[in-house]
Amino acid sequence: MKVLIAGASGGVGSNLIKVFDEDNNELFLTYKDNKNVIIEPKNATYKIIKCDFTNENDVSGLYNNLDFIDVVINSFGTAKNKLIKKMDLADWKAVIDTNLTSTFLSCKHSQNKLKDHGHIINISSVLASTGAIGASNYVAAKGGIESFTKSFALECLLRNKIYVNCIALGYFNTGMGNKLNQKIEKEVKRKIPIYEFGNPNEISKLVKYIISSRYLIGQTIHLNGGLYI
């Protein structure tokens, strides 16, 4: 199986590498700024590729150099939190571009490289459903990914028999979940019915289920410990 993890240098992306680290898999692992934080697979063959997914030339060049792919996972995430009245246009655009535009460009250029019955999984956030004070740009971007996934899933079925779905993640012991200060972490955990952040292995289990399905189409699946029901 050939798998491309877009955003493999992030916390979620790093954990997804483990899902596909098997002898018969070939992985394409992308990063934008820091190659050294990518966890290198132990069993699968792999290539680590620099790509700025906000740049269409970079994205088209990446996919043009691949013959085919079975699975693409778009795991982009950045935040520049400010209240709307204090947020400048540059902070708005940076978060929209990194999260939403990158997902659009990756989907656009990967669809003709995916084999029939291949899978695209886009990563969203529970905040797209709950909202968050001071994170309107992030929430808008992730909400856009969920809406985009629905339309793109329909287009892909018409042409390529590709299954497109989305995972909306809650708080996990990885990535942005590890960057919260103690006060905010405590407040968030109070809102989660099981009072704890998720184990990243739960993400892995869900990804495996999605790519095994031939009937899951255009869905956003929430994985958040009950934070949003």
Residues with catalytic function:
138
Phi-psi label, residue 43: left if phi above 0, alpha if psi -120 to 50, beta otherwise: alpha
- Residue 56: its H or E element: helix 56-64
DSSP one-letter code for 100? I
CA distances from 75 to 14, 123, 171, 179 (A): 10, 5, 15, 17
| Distance, CA of 79 to CA of 82 (rounded, Å) | 9
Interior CA angle at 35 toward 210 and 5, to 5°?
15
Burial classification of residue 43, based on how many CB atoms lie within 10 Å of its CB (0-12 exposed, 13-18 middle, 19 or more buried): exposed
- Encoded tokens for 67: 């013959």
- 8 Å CB contact between 210 and 220: no
Interior CA angle at 187 toward 183 and 191, to 5°?
165
Interior CA angle at 97 toward 93 and 102, to 5°?
175
